[in-house]
Structure formats: C-alpha cells, structure tokens
C-alpha cells in the first residue's frame, strides 16, 4: 500500500513539474543538483576564472553550472580566453580574426550593426560554446524556448536554426560590463535591434570554445 502511494505521489510530482515547465518554458540545461549549483555560483563569484580580466562579469542569464563544469573540463582554453581579453585593448584593436596562441581558439573582433529581429536567425551549436562580449554599443540577445521551437533546417557543422515563438523569447540588452556565454542548450539570437539604443552600431568580441561532453 505504501509503495502504491509512493508511486502515485511520484507520478503526480513529475506531472506537476512537467506542467510548470510547460507554463514557464525551457531555456537552458537544468542540472537539478542544488549542491552543484551552489558550488558553481560560489566559484563564479570568487573570480577564480578571471586571470586578470576585470573589464566585465558574466551576465545573469548565464548557466553557472555549465560554465563551472566546462571550465573544469577544459581549463586551458578558458584560461587563454580570459588572459587574451585582459591583455588586449578591445576598443582599438582592428576588426578581424586573432588566433589565441597555444590553443585552437580564434577571437573574432566584429564591427557590426543590429537588425530587426525578423532579419536575424536563431541558432545553437552542438560542439562549441559561444562567448560574446559587446565592448561598444548595445546589442540585444534573445534566448528561445525549446518547448515551442523546432529546427527549420538540417544541422550543418556547427550550427542549426529554429522556428520559434517570439512571445516566448527572453530578451537581454548587453552593455560593456557584461559578457554572454551561450552553451549548446542555449538557443539564441544575436545582433537584435535594441529599442532603447540611439545607435545600433556595435563592436563585439566572439570566441567559440570547444564544448566537452
């Protein structure tokens, strides 16, 4: 009898969890490990990852557990990334692509423009992490809901695009005090027109880091 009650309660709980998720949407990987989340948050707050990079901090939308676990699995690339950012004048360096010595990473310095969302593609990557840091101007990013999105083309290394519900999309405006990190579970839209910005011209640093399973 007790076992039957436990099964029923478990089913009800799972059903309620699924219902809640359907109401709020699914935007990033959920690890369901509160102890790991607490450890990751403390690690991020400690700044151990910075390596003298003090120009910006992770945006609140970042998945802290993904950042923590991926850093532990691939410290060489992350260390090199933050040291390059710390040692480079990001505002005066000419636009272009810059190999980060000792790693397969390439920093892309882009002078670009935002555009209406209708002209921007949503995307995600299977094998890479998108590090994006807007050092000049305001760029709007969108993160789309998995539950109401479907692929609109075939995967071709290393990107796939989606049909999505704009009403379920979470939008965040950048500033030079924050950087964004999009992991494979973060289906995102970049370079979206920022309504409150007087100028849609931006300078953004984009670096793709290997995602380690």
**Domain boundaries defined on the chain:** 32-45+53-210
User: Is the predicted pLDDT of residue 83 greater than 60, yes or no?
Assistant: yes
Tell me if residue 67 falls in helix, strand or coil.
helix
Distance between CA atoms of residues 49 and 64, nearest Å: 12
Predicted pLDDT at 209: 98
Specify the pTM: 0.88
Residue range 32-45+53-210 forms a domain whose CATH class is mainly beta
Contact present, 211 and 184 (Cβ < 8 Å): yes
Encode burial over 38-71: b for 16+ CB neighbours within 10 A, e otherwise: eebeebbeeeebebebeebebbebbbbbbbbbbb
Q: Other CB atoms closer than 10 Å to residue 128's CB: what's the count?
A: 18
The runs of H, that is alpha helices, within 111-201 are none
Predicted pLDDT at 24: 84
Cα separations in angstroms, 211 against 67, 70, 124, 130, 185? 10, 7, 12, 10, 11
- What pLDDT digit, counting tens, does each position of 15-66 carry? 434 444 445 899 999 999 999 999 999 999 999 999 999 999 999 999 999 9
User: Is the predicted pLDDT of residue 11 greater than 70, yes or no?
Assistant: no
Distance between CA atoms of residues 154 and 207, nearest Å: 24
């Amino acid at each position: 009898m007790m076992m039957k009650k436990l099964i029923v309660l478990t089913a009800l709980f799972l059903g309620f969890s699924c219902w809640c998720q359907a109401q709020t949407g699914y935007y990033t990987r959920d690890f369901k490990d509160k102890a790991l989340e607490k450890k990751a948050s403390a690690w991020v707050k400690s700044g151990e990852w910075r390596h003298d990079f003090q120009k910006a901090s992770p945006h609140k939308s970042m998945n802290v557990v993904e950042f923590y676990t991926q850093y532990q699995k691939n410290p060489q690339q992350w260390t090199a990334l933050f040291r390059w950012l710390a040692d480079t004048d990001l505002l005066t360096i000419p636009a272009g692509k810059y190999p980060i010595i000792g790693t397969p990473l390439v920093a892309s310095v882009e002078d670009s423009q935002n555009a209406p969302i209708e002209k921007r593609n949503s995307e995600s990557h299977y094998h890479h992490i998108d590090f994006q840091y807007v050092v000049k101007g305001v760029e709007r990013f969108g993160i789309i809901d998995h539950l109401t999105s479907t692929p609109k083309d075939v995967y071709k290394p290393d990107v796939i695009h989606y049909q999505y519900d704009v009403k379920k999309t979470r939008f965040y405006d950048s500033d030079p005090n924050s950087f964004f990190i999009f992991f494979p579970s973060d289906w995102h839209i970049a370079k979206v027109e920022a309504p409150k910005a007087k100028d849609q011209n931006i300078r953004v640093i984009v670096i793709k880091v290997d995602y380690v399973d």
